[in-house]
Amino acid sequence: MARTLAALPKAELHIHVEGTLEPDLAFEIAQRNGISLPYRSPDELRDAYDFVDLQSFLDVYFVAGGALRTPRDFHDLAWAYLERAHRDAVAHVELFFDPQAHLARGIALDEIVGGLSAALAEARETWDMSGSLIACFLRDRPAADAMAVLEEIIELDSPDIVGVGLDSTEVGYPPALFRDVFARAFEAGLHRVSHAGEEAPHTYIVEALDALRIERVDHGVRAIDSPELIERLARDGVALTMCPLSNKRLHVTPDLRDHPIRALVDQGVKVTINSDDPSYFGGYIADNYAAVREVLGLTDDEAAQFARTSIDVSFAPPVRKAQLH
């Protein structure tokens, strides 16, 4: 019997925990912390979701995320996402978070990670959902700052932090700026991913593979412009974590009929479907699957293949992957 998209067991691999902050929760958290957001109400915050590109989104994302102050805030944020993800049959999640955004407001790394880890532990207990954390560096800040945060991460030695990533403003901040940071992460046994080819050209993807030794590409939309890169991704089994509704809302691919997802899959690239920042982009993971199915006319079997791929290319231990198949 065909299972609905929301019931397919799947992994979510491109999800910024700060991007799951729904306006109502942002206001609740701001209120209890005595912080005033520069919007009068959750509706007014929602009205600011009129994005024209990545930067116009990031401006709102960092302001709303400014409400987060305590371990409880990080717990409540992650828990709200995990509950929602469970309804979409997410059985494994690798949550991105932006430590630098919070450290800059005086919150300690162990407070951020403590709150997020507590929520992951509850999800493990409640639904047998597995999960881990990927700390993303803000590419528009100096590499030396990222290196300092990486040293703190290594020192903290949290079993939940399995990798590092690179996000925020892309154009003008090429991956090679972070070569030494990612070399240190590699040496410390951390997995490596990077946003690349969202707004910047395919050359950023190539550079991230070469200079950062990344194992997955976040977005990777512009891979479609280089047959050579497509061949390399397919040959080396490097997966793309794509986010169709995000690409639509940020005008990366304003019309989803032009999204390269199908062409990439047809050429043998491993692609996963994810929600990126679901509070801002109008849909959680199953909505992203549904959008792809509708636009590309996927069969149930093809949709199920995306879910299987997400488990295969996750950083879950092999025994966990075997359980989820």
- Asked if residue 277 binds ligand HPA (CB under 6 A), the reply is yes
- Asked if residue 276 binds Zn ion (CB under 5 A), the reply is yes
> In the set 167, 253, 287, 310, which binds ligand HPA (CB under 6 A)?
167
Is 198 noted as a catalytic residue in this protein?
yes
Exposed/middle/buried for residue 308 (C-beta within 10 Å: 0-12, 13-18, 19+): middle
The tokens describing 219, both together, are: 């977005």
Contact 165, 132 (CB under 8 A): no
Q: Looking at beta carbons only, is 76 or 199 nearer to Zn ion?
A: 199
Report the C-alpha gap between 51 and 15 in whole angstroms.
19
- Residue closest to 95 by CA, chosen among 12, 155, 157: 12
Q: Looking at beta carbons only, is 207 or 276 nearer to Zn ion?
A: 276
Confirm whether residue 16 is marked as ligand binding: yes
The vertex-135 CA angle with 53 and 242, nearest 5°, equals 45
Q: Looking at beta carbons only, is 114 or 244 nearer to Zn ion?
A: 244
- Asked if residue 168 binds ligand HPA (CB under 6 A), the reply is yes
Query: What does the DSSP 8-state code read for residue 140?
Result: T
H or E element at residue 31: helix 23-32
Q: Tell me how many residues contact Zn ion (CB under 5 A).
A: 1
Q: Near Zn ion by CB under 5 A, which window of 36-44, 118-126, 250-258, 273-281?
A: 273-281
Confirm whether residue 75 is marked as ligand binding: no
- Asked if residue 94 binds Zn ion (CB under 5 A), the reply is no
Contacts with 318 (C-beta within 8 Å, 6 or more apart), sequence order: none
Residue numbers at the binding site for ligand HPA (CB under 6 A): 16, 19, 54, 167-168, 195, 198, 246, 276-277
Residue numbers belonging to the annotated binding site for Zn(2+): 14, 16, 195, 276
